[in-house]
Amino acid sequence: LDWLWALRFGDWRVNPGLSFQQEQQSTDASREDSQMLLGQLGVVRENLDDPLWPRRGYRLDVGGQIAADTALSDQDALRLRANASLILPLHQQFGVKLQAAAGRVYADEPDALPTNLRFFAGGDRSVRGYSWQELSPEDSSGAAIGGRSLLTGSVEGLWYFRANWAASLFVDAGSAYDSLPESWPWGYGVGGRWRSPVGQVAIDLARAEHPDFHDWRVHFRLGVDF
């Protein structure tokens, strides 16, 4: 159950709210039941030349959620996150897009938090070349259970070879983790972008590079990843 209040001040959007959630999660190795009442606040600043086909601009999205074990929650918890995107034109037909995401959750028992309060990485909007939410700590059965921290980044070159078409070349890296990984997962690949009448359509071919992962993966996405 969520309540969110949307406020706008020029390029700024401020979203205070409350969220109540109960979750039962089971894997082959464990079962966790959780209940949380969260106060939350999100702040977004965005300035894009075209929200459906941006070629210049930026977006900053930061937020936090807090819970107390004295207020309908199983434990005290604080979750912080930040996402930043920047797209710069280098020439009439070329541009570069930079993206980064970071997060941290503080709790007495992070593994007992609801899944959406933990961090995962991998997938078409994260580190490409890996499956959705593949990059995270695992329990003894090998199931991804999410991490306390998140750090990802991406560099993407764009070639606008026609009015509504673009090609991309990208490198992504990062993971969700409890302790800093000895080797950071990363991936690279190529892709295509089409500005359709209903929004951007993207397809990427990416390869994962990590001691535990070596695979090619196709990612398909509707909407702007920004």
Note the pLDDT tens digit of each residue in 40-82.
999 999 999 998 899 999 999 999 999 999 999 999 999 999 9
User: In angstroms, rounded to a whole number, what is the distance separating the alpha carbons of residues 155 and 115?
Assistant: 28
pTM as predicted? 0.91
Q: Specify the range with the lowest mean pLDDT, choosing from 6-20, 69-83, 134-148, 182-196.
A: 134-148
Q: What is the pLDDT of residues 89-120, one digit of tens each?
A: 998 899 999 999 999 999 988 888 888 899 99
Q: What is the pLDDT of residues 123-171, one digit of tens each?
A: 999 999 999 999 999 888 888 889 999 999 999 999 999 989 999 999 9
What does the angle CA 9 – CA 12 – CA 18 come to, to the nearest 5 degrees? 95
